[in-house]
Amino acid sequence: MTYEFLQHYWCFIVSLLGAILVFLLFVQGANSVARSLGYTEEGRRLVYNSTGRKWEFTFTTLVTFGGAFFASFPLFYSTSFGGAYWLWMIILFTFVLQAVSYEFQNKIGNFLGPKTFQFFLTLNGIVGPLLLGGAVATFFEGSNFIIAKDNLVNSQLSTLNTQLDITPVISSWANASHGLDALLNPWVLILGFAVVFLARVLGILYVMNNVNDEDIRSRGSVRLIGAAVPFVVLFVAYLVHLLVKDGFAYNPETGVIFMEPYKYLNNFIEMWYLLILLLIGVVLVLFGIGKTIVSKDYISGIWPAGIGTVLTVLALLLCCAWNNTAYYPSTADLQSSLTLQNSCSSEFTLRTMFYVSLLVPFVLAYIVYAWRAIDAKKLDKEEIQNDHAY
């Protein structure tokens, strides 16, 4: 295993976690339309109890995604999570609100009332996917940060001289917005809202499959059209923009970053397997949506759409990092842009983590087992009458 292979391998692992996270946002998507899916209070409780069985998967994947990024590409972690902290803090805050809201919305002594916590669930269902989608868009559109590469050397010299009281700043944000300035880019918002509507599509498909209630399923088919149309329009618009825009490339021999016309289109052409992955993913998502709308008896659309989402997002994330591409470009200083080579951990760290990652299939197998056990019986009105219901 070469150092270059390990860099690409861990880019794949992190991208896969990110793709799975986008799929699991169906929890947020369903919560954002819970009041229209479940017209009555009982119907809304069915929706919240359906997503309440899965919210831990989403939160755990989000934390694992951040942890894997920290271990394999620490300079990205310190730059993005440390510099754009307002963006990430808002995301994490809404996810904490989600966890609290599930537990307390119907607890005895809840002086705020159930509707307050249901509002928090809706807030997380909109803000979470919007900002996560916006964060993904910055991999293509760039962020406003600066890397002081000289401080990397100074930090090493300080350590050798045991001058531990000196802590040089390696990366810093170029303005005081700390990440929120990305939302001023209309293309970041377009992809962010595309993820919001994708989460709603997946959420509706999941609830239709998981909840045994004819009223919710009939409403779901109508609401699915309202979420699918803006999603398709926004996603296609951003995909066209991505394929025709200049991309952030770098010379692997000199490390110099430069703008290359049609970079991401060239990436898909040169890495044809990613293009095939993207096309298969898009077809599966459209198939899951289309068949659910056309067929009244088809309730399994979440599975082709979910698999398609993972494949599509995986292809996009790998396209922004592989083939000599700067995966976290800087709009403040082009040469500060991060690549797989200049932001990764040491070869020893990546190699050690590689052996640890061999346990991942066993973890995934357990997740599949737990998922099937939780969903062995479709959720119905009787299930929300027990003391363990949300």
Higher pLDDT, 88 or 22: 22
**Model confidence pLDDT, tens digit, residues 290-310:** 999 998 889 999 999 999 999
pLDDT band at 103 (very low <50, low <70, confident <90, very high): confident
Q: By CB neighbour count within 10 A (0-12 exposed, 13-18 middle, 19+ buried), where does 334 fall?
A: middle
pTM of the model: 0.91
Tell me what pLDDT residue 318 has. 96
What are the beta bridge partners of residue 173? Answer: 145
Do 156 and 211 meet the contact criterion of CB atoms below 8 Å apart?
Answer: no
In this predicted model, which residue has the larger pLDDT, 121 or 149?
121
Q: Which tokens go with 296?
A: 């009244």
Report residue 328 CA to chain centroid gap: 15
Could you tell me the pLDDT band of residue 158, with boundaries at 50, 70 and 90?
very low
Q: What is the DSSP string of 362-384?
A: HHHHHHHHHHHHHTSS-B-TTGG
Question: In the predicted model, is pLDDT for residue 204 greater than 50?
Answer: yes
- In angstroms, the CA 261 to CA 264 distance is 9
Q: Which amino acid makes up residue 31?
A: N
Residues 325, 341 contacting (CB under 8 angstroms): no
259-287 pLDDT, tens per residue? 999 999 999 999 999 999 999 999 999 99
Question: Confidence class of residue 133 from pLDDT cuts 50, 70 and 90?
Answer: very high
Strand 247-250 relative to strand 257-260, pairing? antiparallel
- Alpha carbon distances (Å) from 372 to 54, 210, 238, 379: 12, 11, 35, 13
Alpha carbon distances (Å) from 276 to 46, 98, 270, 315: 38, 36, 12, 9
Task: Specify whether the CB–CB gap between 124 and 28 falls below 8 A.
Answer: yes
> Is the predicted pLDDT of residue 149 greater than 80, yes or no?
no
d(CA 186, CA 291): 32
